[in-house]
Amino acid sequence: MGLEHCHSIADLRALARRRLPRFAFEYLDGGAEDEVALRRACRSWEEVTLTPRTGVDVARRDPGVTLFGRRWAAPFGISPTGLTGLAWPGADLMIVRAAAARGLPVTLSTPATATIESAAAEAASHLWYQLYVPARLEIAFDLMRRAREADVDVLLVTMDVPVPGKRERDLRNGFSLPFRMTPRLMWDLVTHPAWSFATRRYGEPRFVNLLPYAPPDAQGARSLASFMAGQIMPSLTWDVMRQLRDAWPGHFVVKGVMHPDDAAQCLAIGADGILVSTHGGRQLDAAPAPLDALPAILRAVGGRVPVLIDGGVRRGLDIARALSLGAAFVMAGRPTLYGAGAGGEAGAGRALSILLDELDRAMALLGCQEIARLRVGRNPLPG
């Protein structure tokens, strides 16, 4: 099956699963522990029904929205993902280009496999940056400086990783950086030659944004991975977040908010937006679905800042569902990872085109000429 036969994100996932070594696919696909939170997030969308309205002229439909002072082609963007190069060598920049070509924002992660500067060179006007706050706060400030100098306006600060989640697929696969050449890994690589040869040409994925801060004896892949693991800040308090907010001149979004009291704290430090998220189900496996947490957070925020959401989005219809329940914007990470794994940059573009097409069809079937009509609740009204 080629990309031309992929008509859904599920199809892209199936193709990526065949093309990628098992350890690479399962790193991208898996969640924490028993993966209950991941499954819960995906299933939660099924429970949201939308009542279609008829007798509306939907010959012309506009999915565009304004967020953080600029117009986007649709009400969704790309969530940050770490080690994106596992999906395919160079996948970070492939996804950046695919998103920019379609007028969508794309978020580069601190543990990306492309630098802030290289991503900005591809599409600075569409680039957001996600900050993992390092244990050494001066590194955080310098990463923010680099993002500012690259003309990034929107900063997402992740708060829900005081320690890494227990991702058992990775443990069972013996996944590590650099790759440890066990017989099992060798067989995995030999049986997936396209990915293996591409990775050999491109180089193993590395946390390239952290290279300037690693000591001279930690420039190798193994030492750099250890350095990255040691940079997680378990004492990320609201006082620290206020310092970061004060230092960032652009739009400041807090990522990983699931409790209304935490949403109130975001407002108190001056955040410009909140991203309701469980880190793709990769942290606390008992966490509720972001969709289930959304109503209480919306009540706490009271419309003072935009509330974004991610987690389990696999259809354009899921985007419509989130907007109908009050989200201002939707983020999705795995769809473009599956796309890149299935077919490189063309696959990433295919994933976005599928979501855009499904959202457009949903608008027509619901009787909505514009996105604002989706925000009135579960029963969209005609204009």
List, by residue number, the catalytic residues.
Answer: 279
Alpha helical stretches, state H, the chain: 9-19, 22-29, 36-44, 91-101, 116-123, 137-149, 168-173, 183-190, 193-202, 221-229, 238-247, 260-269, 290-301, 316-324, 334-366
178: preceding bond cis by omega (within 30 degrees): yes
Bridge-based pairing state of the strands 65-67 and 70-72: antiparallel
DSSP secondary structure letter of residue 236: -
Record the tokens describing residue 70, joined without a space.
């600029």
CA dist., res. 333 & res. 313, Å (int):
8
Contact predicate 275/255, CB 8 Å: yes
3-state secondary structure at position 77: strand
CA dist., res. 124 & res. 147, Å (int):
10
CA dist., res. 203 & res. 300, Å (int):
46
Q: Positive or negative CA dihedral for 22, 24, 27, 28?
A: negative
DSSP secondary structure letter of residue 360: H
Could you give the maximum distance between any two Cα atoms of the chain, in Å?
Answer: 68
Buried b / exposed e across 51-81, counting CB within 10 Å, b at 16+? eebeebebeebebebebbeeebbbbbbbbbb
3-state secondary structure at position 24: helix
Whose CA is closest to 85, among 311, 341, 281, 331? 341
Bridge-based pairing state of the strands 106-109 and 127-132: parallel
- Amino acid symbol at 350: R
Kindly give, in sequence order, each residue whose CB lies less than 8 Å from that of residue 183, ignoring residues fewer than 6 positions away: none
